[in-house]
Chain A
Amino acid sequence: MLRLTRLRLTNFGPFKGEQSIDFPQEDGVTIIYGENMRGKTSLLNAIRFAFFGRILGRGRRDTALHKVGNWEEAAENKVFGFEVGLDMTHAGARYRLVRTFKPRPGVTEPKDDGDYVQDYFLERDGVVLSRGQSKTELERILPEQIARFFLFDGELLQEYEDLLVAESDMGPKISDAIERILGMPVLTNTRDSLTAAKERAENRHARAAQGDQKTREFGNQLAALQSERTVLQTDLERQEKDLDGLRTRKTGLEEAMRKMQRVMALFDKRDVLESDIKTLKEAVAGKKERLGGSMASAWCALLGDKMRAAITDLRARETQLQTVLIRTSVLASLAADGQTTCPACLQPVSDEARQHVQDSLAQHGGAAGADEQREVTAVRRRIAALEQFIGDANPQALRLEWDSIAQDERQIYAKGNEIKEIDAQIADVNEEAVRRTRSDLESVIKQISLLEQGLGKTREALHNNAVYRDNLQRKLDKFAGSGFEVERRRRDLAADLEALFVRGIDVFREQLRRKVEADATAHFLQLTSEPDYAGLRINDSYGLTIIHKDGSDIPVRSAGAEHIVALSLVGALQNNAPLRGPIIVDSPFGRLDATHTDKTVAALPSMAEQVVVLVYEDELAPARARAGLKGHLKAEWTLVRRSARHTELKPRKD
Chain B
Amino acid sequence: MSKEKSVKPASGDKRTIGITRANEHSLAALVAAGGFGSELDAAKFAMAHAIEQGTEVGTIEGTNTKWNIGTVDADASLRALIESFYGAVAEPYRLIEYLINDGLRLLDSGDVPPNVIKLIPAAKLKRVEETADGTAD
Assess whether A389 is in contact with B119, with CB atoms less than 8 Å apart.
no
Assess whether A314 is in contact with B37, with CB atoms less than 8 Å apart.
no
B48's contact among A288, A292, A300, A382, by CB below 8 Å, is which? Answer: A300
Q: Mark A304-318, 1 if CB is under 8 A from B, else 0.
A: 001100100010000
Dominant secondary structure of chain A at its interface with chain B: helix
Q: Mark A390-434, 1 if CB is under 8 A from B, else 0.
A: 000001001100100110000000000000000000000000000
User: How far is B41's CA from A296's CA once the two chains are assembled, in angstroms?
Assistant: 5
Dominant secondary structure of chain B at its interface with chain A: helix
Q: Nearest CB to that of A398 among chain B residues?
A: B119
A385's contact among B34, B41, B84, by CB below 8 Å, is which? Answer: B84
Assess whether B44 is in contact with A386, with CB atoms less than 8 Å apart.
no
Check: A299 CB closer than 8 A to any chain B CB.
yes
Assess whether B34 is in contact with A302, with CB atoms less than 8 Å apart.
no
Assess whether A378 is in contact with B119, with CB atoms less than 8 Å apart.
no
Q: How many residues of B contact A (CB 8 A)?
A: 27
Residues of chain B in range 96-137 having any CB-CB distance to chain A below 8 Å: 115-116, 118-121
CB A357 to nearest CB in B, in angstroms, measures: 31
Assess whether A302 is in contact with B84, with CB atoms less than 8 Å apart.
no
Q: Nearest CB to that of B41 among chain A residues?
A: A296
Q: Which residues of B contact A402 (CB under 8 A)?
A: 120-121
Check: A106 CB closer than 8 A to any chain B CB.
no
Check: A303 CB closer than 8 A to any chain B CB.
yes
Q: Nearest CB to that of B81 among chain A residues?
A: A385
Given the interface pairs A292-B35, A296-B37, the reply to whether A302 lies near B81 with Cβ below 8 Å is no
Check: A293 CB closer than 8 A to any chain B CB.
yes
Assess whether A378 is in contact with B35, with CB atoms less than 8 Å apart.
no
Q: Which residues of A contact B38 (CB under 8 A)?
A: 292, 296
Assess whether B41 is in contact with A302, with CB atoms less than 8 Å apart.
no
Assess whether A386 is in contact with B37, with CB atoms less than 8 Å apart.
no
CB B34 to nearest CB in A, in angstroms, measures: 6
Residues of chain A in range 260-299 having any CB-CB distance to chain B below 8 Å: 288, 291-293, 295-296, 298-299
Given the interface pairs A299-B44, A302-B45, A302-B48, the reply to whether A386 lies near B35 with Cβ below 8 Å is no
Check: B56 CB closer than 8 A to any chain A CB.
no
User: How far is B131's CA from A524's CA once the two chains are assembled, in angstroms?
Assistant: 75
Known A303-B81, A395-B119; further 5 A-B contacts with Cβ < 8 A: A296-B37, A299-B48, A306-B52, A307-B84, A384-B80
Chain A to chain B contacts (Cβ below 8 Å), 27 pairs: A292-B38, A295-B35, A295-B36, A295-B37, A295-B45, A296-B37, A298-B119, A299-B47, A299-B49, A302-B45, A302-B48, A302-B115, A303-B81, A306-B51, A306-B52, A310-B85, A314-B84, A382-B83, A382-B84, A385-B78, A389-B77, A395-B118, A395-B119, A399-B118, A402-B120, A405-B35, A406-B121
Q: Which residues of A contact B (CB under 8 A)?
A: 288, 291-293, 295-296, 298-303, 306-307, 310, 314, 378, 381-382, 384-386, 388-389, 395, 398-399, 402, 405-406
